[in-house]
Structure 1
Amino acid sequence: MLRDLFINLTILVTFHYLLMLVFKENFLKKEDTLLRQVCKGMISGLLGVLLMFFSIKAGPAIIDLRHIPLILTAFYGGIAQTFIAACVVIIGRLLIEVNVASFINIFSMTFIATASFLIAERHINHVVKMLLSITISNVIATILFITVVHETTFELHVAYWIFSYIAGLFNFYVIEHQTKAYQLLNLYKSQAHYDFLTGLLNKRKFDEVLSDAFALKLKQPLHQMSLIYLDIDYFKSINDQYGHHEGDIVLKEIGTRLIKNTRSSDYIGRIGGEEFAVLLPNCSVEKTWQIAERLRRKIADQPIYLQNGTSIHITASLGCAYDTGASENIKQLPIIADQELYKAKQSGRNQVSFSKRKRDHFR
């Protein structure tokens, strides 16, 4: 019996681990696409059918753990996946043999699927929900053993309950552990790529995007590209006067305005304390100028409301560098944009300074 239990546990854990590898974070999405819901429901149902073929021999009777995939699907997959899984288990049982027991299986699987889903929707502790679902399933199985199979052996029922709890709780633990691992991985990825305050790309990720864009540019010389560096004017005085917490509100608001007033294909990053960068691929010189001017106006013309209720007006200086698509010195773009930003600040701030390439373009 212990050998059979180990085989069943191995099958359950392997299937759920592979499911999580395939679907990743989508494995736990109840509101998923119809195709994914059907796939996950069918796979869970097939797992239940497979467990029937690896039944555990307990004296004169045999027991299986087909209900465990149903419970776990109800817990993580939602109503659609649960009943798809139940239907697959029912069909699998009918294909094995059509008799009174197989029709009783239809009732038991439907009842277990419904009860497990209703319990899963309750706002109680996850472990308690799993224990309730397994207990209800065990009670149904025990009633069927006694009334249909006429199996009243105490040891058999105890073995079934123990195996059922071990299989259900062990797989629940494995899935929860993998779930937390994926959540931590996604969190670390986000922290590695995005600025914690504004949600924009951080300097490391923006430099990576810039490097990839340069590599693409070398392969496609006619590919136009522009780079904007933006610096908030007199930001230090905002921190000194209102405090760093209010300064953070300003930074977040600037990040929001940059997102709203650029194209979805553009890349925006926070590359310094109050310095931002915008990479504009496939952007003409005229469009670059329009975007830069729009950003400057949206920052200067609209006040920012601080947490203490104060509204302040701020400005920003912008330096733009444009590559026509014919230059081999594409990696000079950040240097040029930084030089233009310096010119904008030296010339009085709250203005856009464009590279010589733009001025030459309009001659």
Structure 2
Amino acid sequence: MLRDLFINLTILVTFHYLFMLVFKEYFSKKEDTLLRQLCKGIASGLLSVVLMFFFIKTGQAMIDLRHIPLILTAFYGSIVQTFVATCIVIIGRLLIETNVVSFVNIFSLTMIVTASYLIAERHMNHVVKILLSITIGNLMASILFIIFVHETSFELHFTYWIFSYIAGVFNFYVIEHQTKAYQLLNLYEFQAHYDFLTGVLNKRKFDEVLSHAFSLKLKQPLHQISLLYIDIDYFKSINDQYGHHEGDIVLKEIGTTLIKNTRSSDYIGRIGGEEFAVLLPNCSVEKTWQSAERLRRKIADQPIYLQNGTSIHITVSIGCAYYPGTLTDIKQLPIIADQELYKAKQSGRNQVSFSARNRDHPT
């Protein structure tokens, strides 16, 4: 019996590990898409059905660990996921055998799942909740053994309870460990690619995007692309007057404004202390000008509320570069954008400088 219980435990651990590989951190996410909830529910239900086929025959009793996936589903899953998993197990049980015992089994499993779901919603220590749910499942199983097959062997019940606890707690820790590992991986990936303060791409990632765009351009020479360099006017005076913490609030607001007022296909990066860049694929000269002007006006017109309650208005200077235009080499885009930004600042700030557009639309 110990050997068979160990096989059940191995199946549980293996399947849950595979589920984590497929669903990653979404495995333990209650609020999820309906399709993913259905898939997770079906997967958990099928695991319980698989465990039924690896039942352990001991005297007239047949035992397995089918309740463990259902308990974990109730603990981690939504009500939809839990319901789907339970239905799969009910169908599987009826397909294997249909008699009074099978219906009693279905009723007991339903009670276990319901109790586990209600326990999972309680504000308690997670380990305590898992142990309590498993205990309820063990009690139900022992009662059924005694009533229907008159199995009162202390050794049988003790062994079953111990393996049930081991299976439930061990799989709980597998799921917890894998979930935290994926969350940390996502966090590290975010920190590697995004600026922690503003939420836009950091300089290294933006340079990668720019380099990738350059390589694509070489393959598609007629493709249009624009680059905006954006610098906050007199940002040093904001830090000096209000402090660096308030300056960080300004940077966050600028990042948010840029994200909200650009296309989903555009790339935004923070490339310096108070300097941002926006890469605009498939953007004509006129649309580049319109986008830059819209961003300048949005930032200038929108007050920024500091933590001390003060509201301030800030402005930005923007330099634009466009390819193909007059450029013969796409790699000159950053150079031209930087030169145009310098012109905007030298001409009084709070303006857009774009020589390619000015040539087409002389004032």
Q: Note whether the superposition's TM-score is higher than 0.5.
A: yes
Write out per-residue CA displacement over residues 17-63 of structure 1, whole angstroms, 9 at most, x where no aligned residue.
11111122322232323322222112111111111222235566432
Tell me which residue corresponds to 1:302: 302
Tell me which residue corresponds to 1:359: 358
Change (3 A) 1:218 1:13: same
The CA distance in 2 between the partners of 1:91 and 1:128, in whole Å, is 31
1:1-363 pair list within 5 angstroms: 1-58=1-58, 61-324=61-324, 328-355=328-355, 357-362=356-361
Secondary structure in structure 2 of the residue aligned to 1:69: helix
Shift, 1:157, TM fit: 0.8
Instruction: Assess if the C-alpha contact under 8 Å between 2:25 and 2:178 holds in 1.
Output: no
Instruction: Assess if the C-alpha contact under 8 Å between 2:344 and 2:353 holds in 1.
Output: yes
The CA distance in 1 between the partners of 2:163 and 2:58, in whole Å, is 11
Aligned length: 362
Instruction: Assess if the C-alpha contact under 8 Å between 1:29 and 1:77 holds in 2.
Output: yes
The CA distance in 1 between the partners of 2:354 and 2:326, in whole Å, is 18
TM, length-normalised to structure 2: 0.95
The CA distance in 2 between the partners of 1:328 and 1:55, in whole Å, is 73
Shift, 1:198, TM fit: 0.8
Write out per-residue CA displacement over residues 284-314 of structure 1, whole angstroms, 9 at most, x where no aligned residue.
1111111111222222233322111222222
Change (3 A) 1:58 1:305: same
- 4+ aligned runs moved over 6 Å, structure 1: none
The one-letter code of the counterpart of 1:166 is I
CA RMSD between the two structures: 1.7
Change (3 A) 1:193 1:314: same
The one-letter code of the counterpart of 2:253 is E
Instruction: Assess if the C-alpha contact under 8 Å between 1:225 and 1:325 holds in 2.
Output: no
The CA distance in 2 between the partners of 1:338 and 1:332, in whole Å, is 10
Shift, 1:176, TM fit: 0.3
Shift, 1:325, TM fit: 6.8
Gaps of 5+ in 2: none
Secondary structure in structure 2 of the residue aligned to 1:278: strand
The one-letter code of the counterpart of 2:360 is H
Shift, 1:227, TM fit: 0.4
Change (3 A) 1:83 1:297: closer
TM, length-normalised to structure 1: 0.95
Shift, 1:326, TM fit: 8.6
Write out per-residue CA displacement over residues 167-213 of structure 1, whole angstroms, 9 at most, x where no aligned residue.
00000000000010011011111111111111111111111111222
The share of aligned pairs that are identical, in percent, is 83
Q: Comparing 241-250 with 85-94, which one deviates more in the overlay? A: 85-94
The CA distance in 2 between the partners of 1:277 and 1:212, in whole Å, is 16
The one-letter code of the counterpart of 1:291 is S
Instruction: Assess if the C-alpha contact under 8 Å between 1:229 and 1:319 holds in 2.
Output: yes
Change (3 A) 1:158 1:270: same
Change (3 A) 1:66 1:253: same
Instruction: Assess if the C-alpha contact under 8 Å between 1:202 and 1:271 holds in 2.
Output: yes
Change (3 A) 1:220 1:152: same
Change (3 A) 1:97 1:305: closer
Instruction: Assess if the C-alpha contact under 8 Å between 2:320 and 2:353 holds in 1.
Output: yes
Change (3 A) 1:58 1:328: farther
